[in-house]
Amino acid sequence: MKRSLRLICMCLLLSGCGMQFAYNNARFMASWYLNDFIDLSREQKTAFKAELAQLHDWHRANELPLYRDTLVQIRAQLSGAKLDPDALQGHIALMRQRWDAIVIQATPAIVELSRTVTPQQVQGLMLAVEARSQERLSDAETAADHAQDTVAGIEKWTGPLSPSQQTRVLNFAAQYPDITVQTVAAHRAFQSQLFEVLAEPSGADRAARLGFLFANALDTPQGRQLVALRAARLDGRVQLMTDLWAGADERQKRRVIKRVGNYIDDMDALINTELTKAVATNADATLR
């Protein structure tokens, strides 16, 4: 369930009609993705889909407007010659809070669904999760791949970088290398605790432990190391963005501002989709 929640957030990283399509079909995508990890019974699938539908509706109605407001604020700040690092940090902190809100909203459903898992399902889940961890480790980026992907990721927004801009980005990539190994270690530490709880008989204490575990998923030595690495990387990325924007030409700035505007348009379309559905439902109920 928790992995499936990430799909909703990941959809926000897509662009154009692709983002709208992915977000509107997140329920199907989540169910399909979950099948890679656990073989649910018919009753479990029904319960999972019902809980995910509620979460998706809640996210569209409550969270997307907050994302839109943040994007509007970012676009306004991009109109200036310089970016405010503190403002950027604030926007990123807000987005992290929104992820925490999703976890809090979904935890009761996760706990309830966990009551029905069988020992065989837990064992299968353990094997599938470890296989995915091994796959992630095998796909970890080399220094060269990491540098290339970092440049490509920024050029998606800005278009071609100048030689001096590329040098700045490559220095950033070298200073903050791929952290797949540390990420997998933190995930394994969390998963170890999770499977320990799932292996025990269901009860009130089990529900409380699961709730606490999801709220403190990175409260392990490996998790705290990952948090520290992410914090340092974030500081470096904010400085990188500030430096690049100060030296960006008008073409690059227009391209970035336009892309942010496209995201805002996507948010409007997704939010209005829900409003249109609500109006149609109310009208249908009135006619009846």
CA distance 169 to 268: 33
Q: What is the pLDDT of residues 76-85, one digit of tens each?
A: 989 877 889 9
Confidence of residue 9 (pLDDT cuts 50, 70, 90): very low
- The pLDDT assigned to 49 comes to 87
Q: How far apart are CA 1 and CA 241, in angstroms?
A: 34
| pTM for the model | 0.82
pLDDT of residue 11: 43
Alpha-helix runs per DSSP H in the chain:
2-11, 16-24, 26-34, 42-58, 64-77, 85-114, 119-138, 143-158, 163-175, 180-198, 204-215, 221-246, 250-287
**Residue 170 CB neighbours (<10 A):** 16
pLDDT band at 211 (very low <50, low <70, confident <90, very high): confident
Would you state the pLDDT for residue 155? Answer: 96
Question: Domain map of the chain by residue range?
Answer: 1-116+257-288
Question: Is pLDDT at 12 greater than 50 in this prediction?
Answer: no
Q: Distance between CA 157 and CA 53 in Å, rounded?
A: 32
The pair of structure tokens assigned to 260 is 């942010």
DSSP code for 117: -
Q: Distance between CA 88 and CA 68 in Å, rounded?
A: 15
- What tokens appear for 38 in the block? 């656990």
